[in-house]
């Protein structure tokens, strides 16, 4: 089927099987490899992307469902330099092997879009669907806290 959607601000027009996984469309057809396949069953969060600003699992989303949507991946989140969440994860060691990172970035950035000043509990709850086997989460939570602070400071400067 023919689908048309926005991916990180660029229009995509594709002719694909409607029952393909959105994850495969993004990676194989669009060459956007931020979203990763960890489990393929909705349990690890490595494939998380935004669709119309809502974080969804692209492994449990069908190609057909992309039609007409505005999709953002970790690549698209970085506009004028890395997103504060991305910068803080890199700086504070919230990344080790990096496989879960694009999913963590999407989930954490959605949290900060909704809540400018989340406490550590709220951050932990927000990333509770993103499995990370390296960091033990501590540094991820540190990084999201730091990013929240950076974003609040930038807001105040405006």
Partner 1 sequence: MMPVFLPDTLDAALDLLTRDPAACVMAGGTDLLVHLRATGDAPGPLVCLDRLRGLKGIKTDGDTVRIGAGVTMTELLASPVVRDFLPLLHRAAGVFASPTVRNMATIGGNLCTASPAGDTLPPLYVMNASVELRSPRGERTLPVDRFITGPRRTCLERDELVTAVTVPIPVDFDIHHFEKVGQRAAQAIAVVSLAALVALDGTTVHRARLAWGSVGPGIVRCSEAEELLEGQRLTLTNLRAAAAAVSNAVTPISDVRASADYRRQVAGNLLLRLAAL
Return residues touching partner 1 (CB under 8 A).
1, 17-19, 40-43, 45, 48, 54-57, 60-65, 67, 107, 125-126, 128-130
Tokens found for residue 34: 């931020």
Tokens found for residue 74: 């970790």
Nearer to partner 1, 50 or 95 (CB): 50
Residue 120 — φ and ψ, nearest 5°?
A: -65, -35
Tokens found for residue 141: 């939570």
| Least CB distance to partner 1 at residue 27 (A) | 17
Nearer to partner 1, 38 or 91 (CB): 38
C-beta atoms surrounding 105 within 10 Å:
27
Segments of 64-139 assigned E as strands: 70-72
| Least CB distance to partner 1 at residue 98 (A) | 19
| Least CB distance to partner 1 at residue 80 (A) | 27
| Least CB distance to partner 1 at residue 96 (A) | 20
Nearer to partner 1, 63 or 92 (CB): 63
Tokens found for residue 38: 């960890």
Indicate if the alpha-carbon torsion angle 131, 115, 61, 5 is positive or negative.
negative
Nearer to partner 1, 108 or 147 (CB): 108
């Amino acid at each position: 089927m023919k689908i048309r959607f926005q991916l990180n601000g660029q229009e995509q027009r594709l002719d694909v099987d409607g029952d393909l996984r959105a994850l495969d469309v993004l990676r194989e057809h669009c060459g956007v490899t931020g979203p990763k396949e960890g489990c393929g069953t909705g349990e690890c969060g490595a494939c998380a992307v935004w669709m119309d600003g809502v974080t969804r699992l692209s492994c449990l989303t069908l190609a057909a469902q992309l039609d007409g949507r505005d999709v953002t991946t970790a690549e698209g989140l970085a506009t004028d330099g890395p997103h504060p969440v991305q910068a803080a994860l890199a700086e504070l060691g919230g990344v080790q092997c990096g496989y879960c990172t694009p999913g963590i970035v999407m989930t954490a950035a959605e949290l900060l879009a909704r809540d400018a000043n989340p406490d550590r509990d709220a951050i932990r709850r927000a990333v509770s669907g993103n499995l990370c086997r390296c960091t033990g989460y501590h540094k991820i939570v540190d990084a999201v806290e730091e990013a929240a602070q950076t974003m609040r400071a930038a807001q105040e400067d405006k």
